[in-house]
Amino acid sequence: MHNTKILLIDDEKSIVQLIEMVLRKEGFHHIYTAGTGKEALLQLAKYGADIILLDVMLPDLTGFELCPKIRELSDAHIIYLTARTSDLDVLTGFATGGDDYVTKPFNPLEIAARIKARLRRGVPSQSPLPRAEDTRNRYDFGSFVLDEFAGELQVNGSPVPCPAQAYQLLQFLCKNPNIVFSKSQLYEAVWGIEGIGDDNTVMVHIRKIRERIEPDPGEPRYLVTVRGLGYKLMKDKQV
C-alpha cells in the first residue's frame, strides 16, 4: 500500500482533509489533492495515479467532463464521490469512464475499504512467457473467448476492448458458468466488499459486457437475467 498513488479531486477542503487523514491512518502516504479539473490534470501528468477519487461538482468543469480527459492520460481506478444520486447520474458516471460510485455523505473508512479491495486484486502480470505453474485459461463460449493469459476478450475471432471492471466481472462469470449470482454477490466477488446499495454498479457493467459479447444485447443469449435472482452466464456443454 505504501507505494499506491492516490489523487483526490474535490474542492471541499473539509472533505479533502478528512479523507486524507483517514487514508494516511490506513497506511496510504502518496496522496495528492486537486480542487479543480485543470489542477487535477496537472497533478496527474506530474505524479501519475493508481487510484483517483473524483468529485462531480468542481469549480471549472464537472467530474463527468473531467473523467474522459483523465482516461486519455491514465488507466487508474476511478471512484466517483458525489452528492448526485439519481440513476442518470450513476449511469453517466460509469459511461464517462468511472469504475465505482460512492454517494455523499459517506464514511471515509468505506473509501479506504474500497481502495484496499481494489488493490487486493492487483494488476495482471505482464510476463510475456507462460510459467509451468500458470493457472490462467482460455474460456471458450463459441462466438466469444476470454483469454486470461493475453488479458483479452475476443469476439468472433477479433480482440474487443473491454474496461477493466467489466473484464473482471466477465472473468468471474466465465469461471462459474451456468450459476446464478445476485447483484450483491457479483459486487462482492469483483469489487471486494459487500455490495449493499450498489445494484447500479453491477447493472451498468452487465450492460457493458452484453454490448460486447451478445449478437443482440437486448435479447441476451449468453449473459441472461434470472428474474428475481440475478444473472448467469450460459455455456453449452458441447462448446
The pLDDT value recorded for residue 96 is: 86
Task: State the cell numbers at 139.
Answer: 474460456
Q: Is 44 helix (H, G, I), strand (E, B) or coil?
A: helix
Handedness of CA 173, 199, 229, 193 (dihedral sign): positive
Q: Where do the domains of the chain lie, and which CATH numbers do they carry?
A: 5-120 (3.40.50.2300), 138-233 (1.10.10.10)
Residue 236 has pLDDT above 60, yes or no: yes
Q: Output the average pLDDT for the chain.
A: 84
What percent of the chain shows pLDDT beyond 90? 47
d(CA 146, CA 154): 6
d(CA 93, CA 89): 6
Mean pLDDT (whole number) for 114-143:
64
Mean pLDDT (whole number) for 110-139:
64
Q: What does each C-alpha distance from 21 to 24, 29, 102 come to in angstroms?
A: 5, 10, 18
Q: pTM of the prediction? A: 0.61
Q: How crowded is residue 167: how many other Cβ atoms within 10 Å of its Cβ? A: 22
Q: Is 122 helix (H, G, I), strand (E, B) or coil?
A: coil
The pLDDT value recorded for residue 128 is: 38
For 182-204, the pLDDT digits (tens) are 888 888 888 776 655 567 788 88
d(CA 148, CA 146): 6
Residue 101 has pLDDT above 90, yes or no: no
Q: Is 187 helix (H, G, I), strand (E, B) or coil?
A: helix
The pLDDT value recorded for residue 164 is: 81
Q: What does each C-alpha distance from 76 to 22, 40, 48, 192, 197 come to in angstroms?
A: 21, 13, 9, 17, 24
Residue 124 has pLDDT above 70, yes or no: no
d(CA 19, CA 239): 49
Q: Is 116 helix (H, G, I), strand (E, B) or coil?
A: helix
Closest CA to 80 of 92, 164, 69: 92
The pLDDT value recorded for residue 21 is: 93
d(CA 206, CA 233): 11
The answer to whether residues 51 and 5 touch, using CB atoms and an 8 Å cutoff, is: yes
For 49-89, the pLDDT digits (tens) are 999 999 999 999 999 999 999 988 888 899 998 887 777 88
d(CA 114, CA 109): 9
What percent of the chain shows pLDDT beyond 70? 88
The pLDDT value recorded for residue 154 is: 93
Is residue 182 packed enough to be buried (19+ CB in 10 Å), middle (13-18) or exposed (0-12)?
Answer: middle
